[in-house]
Structure 1
Amino acid sequence: MAAITAALIKQVREETGAGMMDVKKALTEADGDVARAKEIIRAKGIQAAGKREGRKAQEGTIASTVVESANGQTGYAVELNSETDFVAKTPKFVEFADTVLGYAVKADADSAEALLAGAAENGTVKEAVEEAAALFGEHVKVGQFAKITGPHVEIYAHKKSVEMPPSIVAMIATDEAGAAVAHEAALQISAMGAQWLTREDVPAEVVESERRVATEKSLAEGKPEKIVPKIVEGRLNAFYKENVLLEQAFVKDPSKSVGDLFKEVGGQALAFARVEVGKGEEA
């Protein structure tokens, strides 16, 4: 049996919010396999109210723009993090975020790493960010990065409060017909946080994990074994409706899906991205 170390227990506790004994039992049952232990915790319905408790959320803002490109339009979104919201809302910090965004567009960067390696006014963008940290007196870093391309790209930037800069940016690429409902779709992405565009985009391992969890949960609930497969399919469909953009209920009219919204105008959604301050990797 694999060793169940304190570090392993801490990792699973932080990622699930489950208690120490529940985590230890799950890891023991899973023979130290973290992914399997998390499935066991979910299947047992252990609550995660304290998920990531005590971990400080990153502050900052997201700069975004749409530019004309060879394939129509390209949308960029760059998260710039600071330690406090006091710094994040200062005009100079917001201006610097826009400057970093400009570097991303100029370099046609495809990732945060490519952006940081790109050229700034003097030296690299990485060096410019390090210099900004000294200026603001806080740790400053480039966080999440998103880029999508299509005939039409729509951006919605959401502010959680009037005095703060954008903290959520939703982008969606559509064909020309789909542009008619792109703004509504961007609002949906911002509010509902879909993870995939279509159910075909959901990784096979994620589907298999959800299927296992649904099966174990159904059996644990005492459901007759012969009807468990049908229940599992129902729970999988509910998972898709929650996490797949085109299958989500449209927030302004739950009687139809986001996919229906595009069908009504004869358009297509091609790609989307959602960036929220503090939701990337901590550093």
Structure 2
Amino acid sequence: MAAITAALIKQVREDTGAGMLDVKKALTEAEGDVARAKEIIRAKGIAAAGKREGRKAQEGTIASKVVVTAEGQTGYAIELNSETDFVAKTPKFVEFADTVLGYAIEAGADSAAEANAAKAGEGTVEEFVKEEASTFGEHIKIGQFAKVSGEHVEIYAHKKSAEMPPSIVAMIATDKAGAAVAHEAALQISAMGAKWLTREDVPADVVESETRVATEKSQAEGKPEKIIPKIVEGRLNAFYKETVLLEQQFVKDPSKTVGDLFKEVGGKAIAFARVEVGKGEEE
């Protein structure tokens, strides 16, 4: 059993918003397993209303572009972080983000690591960013990176306010027929934050965790044992409707799903990505 340290307690409290005593109990029951402790807290409905969403916030913007290829189109999006929104909203910073994206596209990067390693003048993009940081007077770095490809790629860049640059970029790749509803799908991705395209794309360990949480929650509620499997199935379906793009209710017409949109035009969604400023990995 792992020691229940103050660091572990702090981590679970920050991720769930639960009280210290509840966190200690959950960690003890989970024998120090952080992921399991979080499941226990969720199953017991302990998480506080003040639960923090996402990781430590960072300022910045997202540069994005669709490039025509021999196979169709490829969409790129890269997050460039700054310390303050004061710097992030300057035209110079926005232009700098576009330049960094250009180097990543030229290198055919598939990840943030490859974007950092891309050639920029006599050095790499990572070196270029560090050198230019002095002109902004802040620490500047590449955050998230996304890339999708298909016959058609649609990009929607969302600004939280008129004076700020894009803080959310949604991209979706479709076949030719699906292009007819690609813009609506991109708006949906931006607003509703789906995590997977289809339920088959949901990782097995995530399904197992959600099943375990739903089962334990049903047991804690005192539901009859014989109907728990049915309740768990219903809760899993609700989870899919919230997190799977093609199963989400279409925000502009809740009587249909996003999957229905594509069926109506005989089209297909191939892949999607959503990048939001401040939602990537911490340094």
Q: Please classify the TM superposition score into its range, dividing by the shorter chain length.
A: over 0.9
**For the residues of structure 2 that align with 1:137 and 1:51, how far apart are their CA atoms?**
33
Query: Which digits, 9 at most, give the CA deviation of each residue in 1:32-72, with x for residues without a partner?
Result: 1111101000001013333349x851000000000011221
Equivalent residue of 1:3, what SS?
coil
1:171-182 alignment runs, 5 A limit: 171-182=171-182
Residue in 2 aligned with 1:99? 99
1:212-227 alignment runs, 5 A limit: 212-227=212-227
**For residue 68 of structure 1, what is the amino acid of its counterpart?**
V
**For residue 263 of structure 1, what is the amino acid of its counterpart?**
K
Residue in 1 aligned with 2:263? 263
Equivalent residue of 2:281, what SS?
coil
Residue in 1 aligned with 2:64? 64
1:140-179 alignment runs, 5 A limit: 140-179=140-179
**For the residues of structure 2 that align with 1:148 and 1:56, how far apart are their CA atoms?**
26
Residue in 1 aligned with 2:34? 34
**For the residues of structure 1 that align with 2:160 and 2:2, how far apart are their CA atoms?**
45
Question: Displacement of 1:159 after TM fit?
Answer: 0.3
Equivalent residue of 1:173, what SS?
strand
**For the residues of structure 1 that align with 2:76 and 2:172, how far apart are their CA atoms?**
11
Q: TM-score, normalised by structure 1?
A: 0.97
**For the residues of structure 2 that align with 1:135 and 1:253, how far apart are their CA atoms?**
47
Equivalent residue of 1:15, what SS?
helix
Identity of aligned residues (%): 84
**For the residues of structure 2 that align with 1:72 and 1:253, how far apart are their CA atoms?**
30
Query: Which digits, 9 at most, give the CA deviation of each residue in 1:1-44, with x for residues without a partner?
Result: 32111111111112212111111100000011111101000001
Question: Displacement of 1:262 after TM fit?
Answer: 0.2
Q: Cα distance 1:243–1:56, how it changes in 2: closer, same or farther (>3 A)?
A: closer
**For the residues of structure 2 that align with 1:11 and 1:212, how far apart are their CA atoms?**
22
1:9-158 alignment runs, 5 A limit: 9-52=9-52, 57-158=57-158
**For the residues of structure 2 that align with 1:264 and 1:17, how far apart are their CA atoms?**
42
Of 15-24 and 137-146, more deviation after overlay is shown by 15-24
Q: CA RMSD in A?
A: 1.1
Equivalent residue of 1:2, what SS?
coil
Question: Displacement of 1:132 after TM fit?
Answer: 1.8
Equivalent residue of 1:63, what SS?
strand
Q: Is the 8 A contact 2:56 2:279 kept in 1?
A: no
**For the residues of structure 2 that align with 1:177 and 1:37, how far apart are their CA atoms?**
45
**For residue 128 of structure 2, what is the amino acid of its counterpart?**
A
Gaps of 5+ in 1: none
**For the residues of structure 2 that align with 1:253 and 1:97, how far apart are their CA atoms?**
36
**For the residues of structure 2 that align with 1:190 and 1:140, how far apart are their CA atoms?**
25
**For the residues of structure 1 that align with 2:99 and 2:17, how far apart are their CA atoms?**
38
**For residue 37 of structure 1, what is the amino acid of its counterpart?**
A
Equivalent residue of 1:235, what SS?
helix
Gaps of 5+ in 2: none
**For the residues of structure 1 that align with 2:56 and 2:50, how far apart are their CA atoms?**
13
Runs of 4+ aligned structure 1 residues displaced above 2 Å come to 47-53
Q: Cα distance 1:252–1:37, how it changes in 2: closer, same or farther (>3 A)?
A: same
Q: Cα distance 1:56–1:219, how it changes in 2: closer, same or farther (>3 A)?
A: closer
**For residue 105 of structure 2, what is the amino acid of its counterpart?**
V
Question: Displacement of 1:123 after TM fit?
Answer: 1.2
Q: TM-score, normalised by structure 2?
A: 0.97
